[in-house]
Amino acid sequence: MAIRNIREFGDPVLNKVCKEVTEVTPRIRELIEDMLDTMYAANGVGLAAPQVGILKRIVVIDTTGEDPHILINPKIIYTEGEQCGSEGCLSLPGKAGNVTRPMKVKCTAYDVEMNEFTLEGEGLLARAICHECDHLDGHLYTEKVEGDVYETRYEETED
């Protein structure tokens, strides 16, 4: 498969609402494989289709590096609790900010065979589900940051 270019903050595609997927075509399957390859190559835990320039309601998430979740047309149907923590995004490389998200999330989605399923997540997985679903509606985590967005990478200096 292929590694796609990740659209970065300021690209207007990141602020658009994505369209539902009505069938999984060979092109959609290729997109999903490319999204997984792109996410892993960028050391991310999630990636939404608009981040690679495709306005489809598709996200891939893997918070463990061993258990990828492919969510087509995901809808969050339940949230519980609260967690606040540092959150970043592949579309804002080198930046992060503190964001409050639910501690537990339940969503419905379709798999690559268009079979509906339910995914429940807690902690990082819950955060990733919320973050990626926000992308599908044209929202970035920066809209929810408490305080300032900060740099996560530090330049090495010579002493």
Indicate which residues carry an active-site annotation. 132
Length of the chain as a residue count: 159
Nearest to 91 by CA among 144, 152, 44: 44
Helix (H, G, I), strand (E, B) or coil at 151: strand
What residues form DSSP beta bridges with 80? 104
Task: Please give the C-alpha separations between residue 52 and each of 34, 67, 130, in angstroms, as whole numbers.
Answer: 9, 21, 18
In angstroms, rounded to a whole number, what is the distance separating the alpha carbons of residues 104 and 120?
A: 7
In angstroms, rounded to a whole number, what is the distance separating the alpha carbons of residues 155 and 82?
A: 34
Which residues 6+ apart lie within 8 Å of 153 measured at CB?
94
